[in-house]
């Protein structure tokens, strides 16, 4: 028996979750941060809170059969991992993407548990989705798929139990079809069972913008510590979905200039600054590809043989997917003089890239802190649903702004106390771990 409470935890996680490298990666990052906390709070190690946190409370995997427009029967796999409910009902998005599998959903649910704790709101952690590719599917096909998925999922969710929302491939349209089916099966207009709803039927103003807005606000706070600001900064944002679009909007409002964004087909470099109205029209209204944006602007569309991170910038915002910013990308960013990287996506930066950026003195905002504005505003949506109220855009945005500042300051304070000042990775992991594990101890052996 060794004195190091973490000695066997990682090996056990790998052994118990074979073939799930993303989940191993997410756990490893947390384990490397919490040593100093366990040294100070040995009771948390004795209670084996970390081993318990690494094991989801419940995992649901189910068949999703549906019929395409040609009348062919299709079968997908649905997932919901209910990770931790010590602080509140399971909460987290649903992802529709062909890459979705148990390991992806588990890493996302694990991250979500810490992220939700960081918001300071009464939220547990969960995640779900399906290996369904929505690209090229008609509205009718999307509706039938969502209805089939909810026909199983409904029995596991509810406003006091588990509250899904959107993620990659799931936005207001999908939440609408999911909510409609939930309402139909349960015969309950239970608004708080899903967030990210349309504002006409129980959704909160600002939820659509919240993740991207919160991300820019978090970056602004990181820069403020260094007596800098987003104003006048050249920025690169990867992705062009919900998070990326509203990150660009807020960066522009704060005086920064975003000169590139991307989708899975490649990126566009627009040195004069991304034309946000055009980007919204292409991506949100027409559901088209970045090629169309490039054509409309008379620009070159770089397909995926290069990297968007080769474009010189002061601040980088990876907002597409996991492990999209590699060690080689980090090297180029540092060589080009980047001063901050803030993660809009979940775990977009590989571990060696994070180390390189932090060693080079780059301010690094990990996703579980920097992109927490989305889920925090989901909690504000739940508050409005519970009180049958609807707040103004200004009021809700002011709440979001205060929450992001508080998350930043809490992470910074923990980094000063337990690690190196400004190490937000350690700060976020430590605050999340302390909040979840203290609640788990208080609730008895759960
Ligand atoms: P969207 O589906 O709206 O947009 C995703 C964007 O990322 C698209 O531009 C998409 O390109 C690109 N992308 C997705 N997967 C890949 C891939 N494998 N390779 C290359 N590009 C890819 O999703 P969101 O904007 O909602 O989510 C983006 C990230 O932010 C995810 O990591 C998500 O978990 C995270 N996040 C989302 C929150 C939310 O509230 N929505 C909250 C916090 C984090 P294409 O269309 O070509 O596939
Ligand atoms: O990763 C995330 O935080 C989300 N996809 C949002 C989750 C939510 O419940 O709003």
N residues, the chain: 446
Q: Which atom of ligand 2 is nearest to the CA of 378?
A: 10
Q: What is the rounded distance in angstroms from the CA atom of residue 155 to the CA atom of residue 416?
A: 44
Decide: 203 and 229 in contact? Cβ < 8 Å: no
Alpha carbon of 92 to ligand 2 centroid (Å): 5
Decide: 186 and 343 in contact? Cβ < 8 Å: no
Pair type for strands 301-303 and 162-165: unpaired
Out of 126, 160, 189, pick the residue that ends a domain: 189
Angle at the Cα of 367 (from 226 to 124), degrees rounded to 5? 125
Q: Is 97 part of any domain?
A: yes
Alpha carbon of 69 to ligand 2 centroid (Å): 30
The CATH number of the domain where 184 resides is what? 3.40.50.10860
Pair (231, 144) in one structural domain: no
Q: Is 419 part of any domain?
A: no
Decide: 327 and 350 in contact? Cβ < 8 Å: yes
Closest C-alpha residue for ligand 1 atom 23: 168
Q: Is 138 part of any domain?
A: yes
CA distance to 111, 278, 361, per residue, from 210 (Å): 18, 20, 28
Q: Which atom of ligand 2 is nearest to the CA of 95?
A: 5
Alpha carbon of 221 to ligand 2 centroid (Å): 21
Out of 361, 387, 422, pick the residue that ends a domain: 361
* CB-ligand 1 contact for 220 (6 Å cutoff): no
Closest C-alpha residue for ligand 2 atom 3: 375
Is 127 one of the catalytic residues?
yes
Q: What is the rounded distance in angstroms from the CA atom of residue 342 to the CA atom of residue 348?
A: 10
Q: Is 139 part of any domain?
A: yes
Pair (274, 318) in one structural domain: yes
Closest C-alpha residue for ligand 1 atom 35: 345
Give the pLDDT of the chain (446 residues) as one tens digit per residue. Answer: 456 888 899 999 999 999 999 999 999 999 999 999 999 999 999 999 999 999 999 999 999 999 999 999 999 999 999 999 999 999 999 999 999 999 999 999 999 999 999 999 999 999 999 999 999 999 999 999 999 999 999 999 999 999 999 999 999 999 999 999 999 999 999 999 999 999 999 999 999 999 999 999 999 999 999 999 999 999 999 999 999 999 999 999 999 999 999 999 999 999 999 999 999 999 999 999 999 999 999 999 888 678 999 999 999 999 999 999 999 999 999 999 999 999 999 999 999 999 999 999 999 999 999 999 999 999 999 999 999 999 999 999 999 999 999 999 999 999 999 999 999 999 999 999 999 999 999 999 99
Could you tell me the strand order of the sheet in which 125-130 lies? 58-67, 73-84, 125-130, 90-96, 162-165
Q: Domain tally for the chain?
A: 2
Q: Is 30 part of any domain?
A: no
Q: Is 317 part of any domain?
A: yes
Pair (129, 262) in one structural domain: no
Q: How many helices (H) and strands (E) does the chain have?
A: 18, 12
* Marked catalytic residue, from 91, 115, 127, 183: 127
Residue 329 belongs to domain spanning:
209-361
Pair (235, 149) in one structural domain: no
pTM of the model: 0.98
Pair (178, 239) in one structural domain: no
Out of 361, 380, 415, pick the residue that ends a domain: 361
Pair (185, 108) in one structural domain: yes
Pair (183, 213) in one structural domain: no
Pair type for strands 257-263 and 90-96: unpaired
Terminal CA-CA length for the chain: 25
* CB-ligand 1 contact for 169 (6 Å cutoff): yes
- Nearest listed ligand to the Cα of residue 287: 1
* CB-ligand 2 contact for 343 (6 Å cutoff): no
Alpha carbon of 202 to ligand 2 centroid (Å): 17
Looking at residue 5, its pLDDT comes to: 82
* CB-ligand 1 contact for 119 (6 Å cutoff): no
* CB-ligand 2 contact for 212 (6 Å cutoff): no
Pair (170, 299) in one structural domain: no
Alpha carbon of 22 to ligand 2 centroid (Å): 18
Closest C-alpha residue for ligand 1 atom 11: 263
Q: Is the dihedral of CA 70, 64, 126, 156 positive or negative?
A: positive
* CB-ligand 1 contact for 172 (6 Å cutoff): no
Pair (99, 152) in one structural domain: yes
Looking at residue 2, its pLDDT comes to: 58
* CB-ligand 2 contact for 346 (6 Å cutoff): yes
The CATH number of the domain where 255 resides is what? 3.40.50.720
Pair (253, 166) in one structural domain: no
Mutation pick for ligand 2 pocket among 178, 193, 211 (CB with most ligand atoms within 8 Å):
211
Pair (170, 231) in one structural domain: no
Q: Is 435 part of any domain?
A: no
DSSP line for 154-206: GGG-BTTTEEEE-BTTB-HHHHHHHHHHHHHHHT---GGGS-S--GGGTPPTT
- Nearest listed ligand to the Cα of residue 172: 1
Pair (151, 247) in one structural domain: no
* CB-ligand 2 contact for 195 (6 Å cutoff): yes
Q: Is 26 part of any domain?
A: no
């Amino acid at each position: 028996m060794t004195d190091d409470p973490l000695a066997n935890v990682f090996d056990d996680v790998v052994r118990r979750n074979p073939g799930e490298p993303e989940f191993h990666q997410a756990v490893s990052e947390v384990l490397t941060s919490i040593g100093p906390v366990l040294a100070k709070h040995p009771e948390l190690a004795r209670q084996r809170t970390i081993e318990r946190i690494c094991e989801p409370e419940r995992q649901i995997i189910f068949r999703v059969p549906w019929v395409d427009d040609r009348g062919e029967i299709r079968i997908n796999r649905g997932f919901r991992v209910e990770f931790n409910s010590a602080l509140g009902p399971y909460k987290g998005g649903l992802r529709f993407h062909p890459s979705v599998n148990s390991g992806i959903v588990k890493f996302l649910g694990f991250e979500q548990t810490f992220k939700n704790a960081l918001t300071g709101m009464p939220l547990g952690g969960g995640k779900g989705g399906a290996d369904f590719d929505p690209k090229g599917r008609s509205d009718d096909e999307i509706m039938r798929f969502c209805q089939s998925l909810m026909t199983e999922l409904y029995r596991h969710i509810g406003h006091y139990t588990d509250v899904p929302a959107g993620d990659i491939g799931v936005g207001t349209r999908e939440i609408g079809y999911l909510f409609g089916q939930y309402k139909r099966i349960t015969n309950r207009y239970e608004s708080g069972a899903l967030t990210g709803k349309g504002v006409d039927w129980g959704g909160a103003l600002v939820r659509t913008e919240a993740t991207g807005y919160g991300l820019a606000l978090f970056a602004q706070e990181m820069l403020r510590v260094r007596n800098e600001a987003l104003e006048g900064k050249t920025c690169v944002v990867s992705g062009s979905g919900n998070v990326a679009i509203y990150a660009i909007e807020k960066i522009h409002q704060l005086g920064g200039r975003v000169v590139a964004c991307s989708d899975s087909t490649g990126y566009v470099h627009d040195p004069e600054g991304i034309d946000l109205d055009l980007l919204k029209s292409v991506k949100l209204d027409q559901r088209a590809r970045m090629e169309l944006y490039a054509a409309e602007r008379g620009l070159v569309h770089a397909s995926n043989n290069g990297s968007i991170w080769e474009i010189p910038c002061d601040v980088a915002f990876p907002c597409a997917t996991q492990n999209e910013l590699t060690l080689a990308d980090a090297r180029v960013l540092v060589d080009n003089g980047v001063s901050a990287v803030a993660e809009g996506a979940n775990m977009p930066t590989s571990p060696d890239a994070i180390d390189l950026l932090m060693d080079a003195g780059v301010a690094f905002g990990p996703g579980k802190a920097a992109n927490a504005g989305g889920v925090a505003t989901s909690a504000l949506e739940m508050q409005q649903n519970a009180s049958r109220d609807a707040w103004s855009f200004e009021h809700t945005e002011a709440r979001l702004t205060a929450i992001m500042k508080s998350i930043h300051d809490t992470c910074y304070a923990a980094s000063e106390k337990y690690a190196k000042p400004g190490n937000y990775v350690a700060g976020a992991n430590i605050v999340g771990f302390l909040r979840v594990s203290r609640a788990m101890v208080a609730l008895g052996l759960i």
